Amino acid sequence: MKFSFFSLFEPFPQGFEKKDIKKRDLLQDPTVILSNSREDFFTIFPNLEDRVIGVIAIPNKDFQLKKLGTLFWEMHFPGFLIEHLKDITVPILCLLENTNILLDTLKQTEIELSRTSRDFLETTQDYQRVVQSLQKKVQDLTKAQSEILALNQVLEKRVELRTLELSQTNQALNERNQELSFSLESINLLKSQQDADYALTSLLLEPLSTNNSVSKNIDLEFFTKQKKSFPYKNKFINIGGDIIVADNIVLNKENCTLFLNADAMGKSLQGACGSLVLGVIFKSIVTYTQLQATNQKPEKWLINTVSEIHRIFDSFEGRMQATLVMGIIEEKTDTLYYVNAEHPNIVLFRDGSAQFLKERKKSRKIGSIGIKPYVHVERFQLKSGDSIFIGSDGKDDIILKKSDSKKREINFNEKLFLNIVVQKKGNLKQIVKEIEKRGELMDDLSILKISYGLDKFKPILGI
């Protein structure tokens, strides 16, 4: 198990480190935070009680434990034990980690039990109906036998009557069999209609997720693989919530390359509907900009566009959300302007090394409710030979394959993609192959590669 130990004050004990702690550091692994008081911690990281797995350790006179969240505790300990704090808290972190695993297992078990209970209830109801039918038949047979014994003289008539009853029963069984056959046909028809709806939605998304950008200095490559894939009319249809778009616009009389990578929340149809709505809005705004001359600068255009998408998504009252990176490259100044709305960090590949672009502040997720949306525009100066990679979280959320074990684990290493980019020297096709080689995709995957400062014009590639 991997644990983290941080100190909010100096000097800090052995095994602890003091650094610029980020919220993601606290959410990644079970953590011990050494602090003078609970207030010092929550001043820096408010509202994390039910998200952090770990312990706030506070020097005091004696031991005392207090529960702050589901798997988050406050521990007071005698100050003279501070050098042994790591050894003291490791068993607690192990217990919390195992408890977290147990809670996940219990949650999955509850889901399976609920499904099993529902199936068992349906089977029991069917069984009761069969039993009732059989009981009725037994009663009828018993009555017929009594009548045969008592009325021997009319035996032939009773036999004929019973034969008629059996014929009617057989007819009823045949009718029931026909009803069951019709129900199966209805289910297949509904499945076919659902697949048709999925296929239609996929067809509607195709003209929206396109690369219409043409530039002598900028080359764009797309890769998109949706998680859900199914056969429909002799071909496979893919449907999901990832979308990539690129185009050209003129802002303040300067030629610009525009791009968008978005990940709509939800599985299959819900995600596809989100990306469909977002794609239509974005396409409409881009087309209007292309038809109407504007003196807006890139920053203002990005803020207005993202704000308009926010406004329209607000009408869905939180039922439709999306993360995105939307950017503009001003070709005359070699400047990249972009907005990151809770999307994975942009990767810069320069001179054979890869790193995340530093961002001062991320904008709010599209469709977030309860908080006024904030749109922040970042700026970055490009150099000839730079490659920019923008992708959804599908490139990071993979189930790793272990060659020495049948066990699988989810990747939590945010630098895995950086290492792959360096290993494959920025080749997008090879990067995708390496991701799929490392593990199984858990989500839709989309990656946009932007190569800047080409020596000659290259055709735009779409994968």
**103 vs 50: CA distance, rounded Å:** 13
**91 vs 71: CA distance, rounded Å:** 14
> How far is residue 212 from each of residues 20, 68, 186, 249, 276, measured CA to CA in Å?
42, 52, 43, 11, 18
pLDDT at 404: 61
User: To which residue do tokens 């150099």 refer?
Assistant: 383
**97 vs 415: CA distance, rounded Å:** 23
Query: Do 312 and 281 form a contact (C-beta atoms < 8 A)?
Result: yes
Query: Which of 211, 221, 263, 231 minimizes the C-alpha distance to 432?
Result: 221
pLDDT at 68: 87
pLDDT at 427: 95
The helix or strand, by DSSP H or E, that contains position 61, with its residue range, turns out to be none
Measured in whole angstroms, the distance separating CA 175 from the mean position of its chain's CA atoms is: 47
Contacts of 319 (CB under 8 A, 6+ apart): none
Task: Tell me if residue 214 falls in helix, strand or coil.
Answer: coil
> How far is residue 14 from each of residues 25, 80, 307, measured CA to CA in Å?
19, 13, 48
Query: Do 259 and 448 form a contact (C-beta atoms < 8 A)?
Result: yes
**415 vs 396: CA distance, rounded Å:** 9
Residue range 208-462 in CATH 3.40.50.720: no
**451 vs 448: CA distance, rounded Å:** 10
**366 vs 313: CA distance, rounded Å:** 7
Query: Which of 2, 3, 7, 28 minimizes the C-alpha distance to 17?
Result: 7
Query: Do 461 and 449 form a contact (C-beta atoms < 8 A)?
Result: no
**142 vs 321: CA distance, rounded Å:** 66
User: Which residues pair with residue 366 across a beta bridge?
Assistant: 322
Question: How do the pLDDT tens digits run along the chain, 463 residues long?
Answer: 688 888 888 887 888 887 678 888 888 889 888 888 888 888 888 888 888 888 998 998 888 888 888 888 888 988 888 888 888 888 888 888 888 888 888 888 888 888 888 888 888 888 888 888 888 888 888 888 788 777 777 777 888 888 888 888 888 888 888 877 777 777 767 777 766 776 677 778 788 889 999 998 999 999 998 888 778 777 777 888 899 999 999 999 999 999 999 999 877 678 888 888 999 999 999 999 999 888 899 999 999 999 999 999 988 888 899 999 999 999 899 999 999 999 999 999 999 999 999 988 888 899 888 767 789 999 999 999 999 999 998 888 888 876 666 677 888 888 999 999 999 999 999 999 999 888 888 888 999 999 998 643 444 333 3
Contacts of 25 (CB under 8 A, 6+ apart): 4, 6, 31
Angle (deg, nearest 10), helices 85-150 and 155-205: 150
**Residue extents of the structural domains in the chain:** 4-102, 151-201, 208-462
**240 vs 227: CA distance, rounded Å:** 6
pLDDT at 403: 60
Q: In what order do the strands lie in the sheet with 54-60?
A: 4-7, 31-34, 54-60, 72-78, 64-67
pLDDT at 212: 92
User: To which residue do tokens 């994968």 refer?
Assistant: 463
Contacts of 46 (CB under 8 A, 6+ apart): none
Strands 31-34 and 54-60: parallel
pLDDT at 460: 38
pLDDT at 368: 86
Measured in whole angstroms, the distance separating CA 131 from the mean position of its chain's CA atoms is: 47
